Copies of this chain bind each other. A is one copy, B any other.
Amino acid sequence: MKSTAARQGTLRELNLGLVLREVLDAAATHAPSPSRADVAAATGLTRATVSTLVDRLVAGGLLAECEPVATQRAGRPAVPLVPAGGTLVALGAEVNVDYLGVRALDLAGHVLAERVVEDDHRDSDPARVLRALAAVADDVLAETVGDPVAATAGEPVAPGGPRRVVGTALALPGLVARDAGTLLLAPNLGWREVDVAGVLADASEVFSAHPPTLANEADLAARAEARAQRREGAASFVYVSGEIGIGAALVLEGRVFGGRHGWAGELGHTLVADGRPLEQVAGQDAMVRAAGLEREAGVASLVAALAAGAPAAHEAVRAAGEALGAALANVVNTVDVSDVVLGGTYARLAEHLVEPVLAALRTHVLAAPWAPPTVGVARVGDIPALTGAALSVLDLVIADPSAWLDAPGAAAALPRLAP
């Protein structure tokens, strides 16, 4: 919390964000679209105040009004409010060990377009991979807008036409310097000190117009998971992302906690009981190898072996779960968040992992008797970091809505959408 003077504009900005978030959250959780009165009731603001704020947001092209819908009850029918789907686009990208991809989201959080390319990036050439990503990004954006150049010009337009790009974010399996746009270290890619933003800017129109914010893959995946879980209120949990590496991210009251530099949650390099880093015990490759399978066979073969009842596979996963649980117990003891969510590869193995992880938590977490640990499975869909990256971009809009308002009047002519 920055302690800076609160002028009157701060007030408006705060409440504008509050109203916007209310509508966006409803859309994200598939709750019925709220009316002005609903928002007023939920926020504690007056109907009058909400009305002026909503009017501003609608005029600015961030919200849209649907046709009033009959509600069976007495009273004037409410006008449902929805995020304006037509204007803003956020681009989330990811480079991971065995794939890269880009996903485009609108303000409502709906996927406008996406593309994922599978490839092996172990010890790859950063420039080559990043140029491939840049091409994919331009493609994906082209699917959502007629002309990427016109789209960045900031002209308000009708739905279906070109859109305004809010920004871009990139998920990477390693340590990043988020401000400098540099990847510091990604052991599983074999990358070190790469000027990611620079390379992307040279290779892509989108990334040069909108320099990407870099972040850890697990953090962004957790951002997406937090949204998926928001259905039942802002949750706190430790998200474990089991890809080739092992990343973790803390979600506190629905917000991802990245730490001072965004490097929090480096779980893979935690030392476990035998002195080895966790990744070498419970990582994807380690499990596959321990199960007596070829590394190239991947997780799919492990899943198959488990289904077939192969004892070595079961033992491998159980041992991995035990080590993971012990490492997570330290995390839980450190940050006092007792719910664990398994994501990535671990989600596919959850059936066999939950029990050993939970057992380890129960025995090693000091507070377990009073806040029983839980182990759940991620709800968010495939490649959550793509969604999380785009959501992290959209957070900018929510944090400072008035910066993204179109010139008033232009959007007033927009036709009403169907509910």
Contact = CB atoms under 8 A, between A and B. Distances in A.
Contacts of A209: none
Contacts of A177: 370
Contacts of A21: 3
Interface string A5-22: 110101100110010010
A270 interface: yes
Nearest to A50: B5
A184 B260 contact: no
Interface stretch (A74-82, A153-161, A333-341): A333-341
B6 A265 contact: no
Interface in A248-291: 248, 250, 252, 257-267, 269-271, 273-275
Nearest to A4: B44
Main secondary structure of the interface of A (DSSP, over half): loop
The CB with the most chain B CB atoms within 10 A, among A175, A252, A266, A333, is that of A333
In which size bucket is the chain A interface?
A: 35 or more
B44 A175 contact: no
Question: How many copies of the chain does the oligomer comprise?
Answer: 2
Interface in A365-403: 366-367, 369-371
Contacts of A11: 6, 8, 10-11
A348 interface: no
A258 B367 CA distance: 14
Contacts of A5: 15, 18, 43-45
A264 B336 contact: yes
A330 interface: yes
Contacts of A274: 273
Nearest to A18: B3
B270 A273 contact: no
Interface in A143-199: 175, 177, 184-185
Residue of A8, A248, A266 with most chain B CB atoms under a 10 A cut-off = A266
Contacts of A369: 184-185
B335 A269 contact: no
Given A3-B21, A259-B335, A261-B336, A269 B366 contact: yes
Interface string A228-264: 0000000010000000000010101000011111111
A326 interface: yes
Contact of A271 (B10, B45, B336, B364): B364
Tell me which of A4, A175, A261, A367 has the highest count of chain B C-beta atoms within 10 A of its own C-beta.
Answer: A367
Contacts of A258: 336
A184 B366 CA distance: 11
Contacts of A366: 175, 185, 263, 266, 269
A413 interface: no
Contacts of A371: 260-261, 263
A252 B336 CA distance: 15
Nearest to A273: B275
A357 to B, nearest CB: 15
A330 B333 CA distance: 11
Interface in A295-333: 326, 329-331, 333
A4 B274 CA distance: 48
A418 interface: no
A177 B371 CA distance: 11
Given A14-B6, A175-B366, A236-B260, A334 B336 contact: no
B335 A334 contact: yes
What are the 4 A-B residue pairs with the smallest beta carbon separation, nearest first?
A259-B336, A5-B44, A264-B336, A266-B333
Given A5-B18, A259-B336, A273-B275, 4 more contacts: A3-B43, A266-B333, A270-B330, A271-B330
